[in-house]
Amino acid sequence: MNHPKEFSFYARRNLFIFSLTRLISELGSSIFKFALSLYILDITGSATVFSMVLGLSILPGVFVNIFAGVVIDRSDKKKVLVITEILSGIALLSFLPIFLLDSTNVMLLAVFSVILSLIQSFTFLTLNASIPNLVERENVHSVNSSYQSIGAIINVLGPILGAITYRAWGLETIVMINGITFISAGLMQLWLQFRKSDEQTVSSSYLESVKDVFAYINKQKAIMYLLVIFVGINFMLAPLIQVVLPYVTYQELQLSAQQLSVIQGAWFVGVIAGAILVSRRKVHQFVITKIFILFQLQAILFLTWCFPLLFPSTSGSLIQITVIFIMILAVTGFFNSMSNVPMISYVQLYTPEHIRAGVFGVISSLTMLATPLGIGLYGILLDRIDWIYLPLASGVVALVMGVMAHKNKSLRNFFSQNAEPVLSNVGEKEQVSAL
């Protein structure tokens, strides 16, 4: 592998603009979505209607991501990124007067959620496909670490600020502010410098491009295995954090809502700490060789969720239970982040640019589909079996996946690559794209 490089001028500027616009845009989006959920519950009082609108905002992305990825691969990524951010802002500002005229129309809210979800599907796929074009290849992991940290911060702050601003200002003010922030983020991204690629698309039609994506995934066994891992961990992890943890701590162990919020917050603290540490080049290079050992450690930590029943002496103190869960969640989040960042970076670097967004579209579609399916299944199982079996089964399955991945020759070869991927370095003397 090449000797490590410092960030070039363009890469430093790109990293600053990328991080700032992600914070502005995605924090605003998180605040809006949480405020919208509160508004729907306020006007309907129905969990069924709320879940319907939430599902409609997720499902379009599942079905369009593959085709959106192909469109992005065949387009100027900078233009797509800028235009979709501005379109999101325009959609919000256009929705505002309609909302003010008919503020209790749930169908209107559902349709708008679908439109916004479709636009943002293009944005997020373009972001993942563009990172290797913004910085030197040695620093791709640093951008992914920054992105993961920003995501964790937003997951903590978004609901808190969403609740505060909704009660203080109302949904219409949040819509207006978020529309402005989307447009501002889009305009700021005009200053991003993209490397121009010499690589050309190999297909003459969109259908052939879609076929190329699936043919590539089918041929690259390492990508196939990683896809199974991404889907599997999303199927198990999201339900464990969002369904099992609240049920166990709040209903079964009788912890307070405040204690539950601190425990869930510990997960994001661990994610941020892991992302910061793995952004260091030496740590990143070390983690690459141990990536599936970290995955196995996460699996073992799932098993430790059963400590209140396996060690009854701990169940007498709610504070003791809270502290132990905080430590478990923080360390699990830490290992999760340490393994996720290198995996995503390698897929970005070693996937040919002309199908990169398409590959991420497939990954995104399947992981987005796995999450609600997992949440639904775990919710049903919680009503029918003792909760202890869910973290135990999840931990065992994840551990088996980690051991098999660690022994898999295709994956070992994939993560031991030291040849130059199919892209140049981004430097001050290289050609960059302009909108």
DSSP 246-287: HIIIIIIS---HHHHHHHHHHHHHHHHHHHHHHTSHHHHHHH
pTM score, whole prediction: 0.84
Give the Cα separation of 42 and 227 in Å (integer): 39
Tokens 């430097």 sit on residue = 427
Give the Cα separation of 403 and 101 in Å (integer): 57
Q: Is 170 left (phi over 0), alpha (psi -120 to 50) or beta?
A: left
Determine whether domain 206-416 maps to CATH 3.30.420.40: no
The per-residue pLDDT for 431 is: 40
The per-residue pLDDT for 155 is: 86
The per-residue pLDDT for 412 is: 84
The per-residue pLDDT for 37 is: 83
The per-residue pLDDT for 315 is: 57
DSSP letter at 433?
A: E
The per-residue pLDDT for 266 is: 92
Identify the CATH class of 1-194.
Answer: mainly alpha
Give the Cα separation of 11 and 17 in Å (integer): 10
165 close to 401: Cβ distance less than 8 angstroms: no
One pLDDT digit (tens) per residue for the chain, 435 residues: 343 455 677 888 999 999 999 999 999 998 998 888 888 888 887 766 776 776 677 777 777 888 899 999 989 999 999 999 999 999 999 999 999 998 888 888 888 888 998 999 999 999 999 999 998 888 898 899 999 999 999 988 888 899 899 989 999 999 999 999 999 999 999 999 987 665 555 556 788 888 889 999 999 889 999 999 989 998 999 889 888 888 888 778 888 878 888 888 899 999 999 999 998 888 888 888 788 888 899 999 999 998 887 766 655 578 888 899 999 999 999 999 998 998 999 999 889 988 999 999 999 999 888 888 888 889 889 888 888 999 999 999 999 999 999 888 888 888 887 644 444 344 444 443 333
Q: Do domains 1-194 and 206-416 have the same CATH topology?
A: yes
**Cβ–Cβ contacts within 10 Å for residue 293, how many?**
14
354 close to 201: Cβ distance less than 8 angstroms: yes
Residues 6+ apart with CB under 8 A from 69: 125, 129, 213, 357, 358, 359, 360, 361, 362, 364
Q: At what angle do helices 318-350 and 221-239 cross, to 10 degrees?
A: 160
Q: Which of 261, 247, 255, 249 is nearest to 378 (CA)?
A: 247
Q: Which of 353, 397, 355, 406 is nearest to 374 (CA)?
A: 397
**Over the stretch 13-71, which tens digit does the pLDDT of each residue have?**
999 999 999 999 999 998 998 888 888 888 887 766 776 776 677 777 777 888 899 99
DSSP letter at 351?
A: S
Q: Which of 358, 298, 31, 357 is nearest to 290 (CA)?
A: 298
Give the Cα separation of 401 and 284 in Å (integer): 22
Question: Long-range contacts: 318-324, Cβ < 8 Å, 24+?
Answer: 318/253, 318/254, 318/255, 318/256, 318/259, 321/249, 321/253, 321/255, 322/255, 322/259, 322/262, 322/263
Q: Where are the domains of the chain?
A: 1-194, 206-416
127 close to 420: Cβ distance less than 8 angstroms: no
**Cβ–Cβ contacts within 10 Å for residue 140, how many?**
25
Tokens 């991945």 sit on residue = 405
66 close to 75: Cβ distance less than 8 angstroms: no
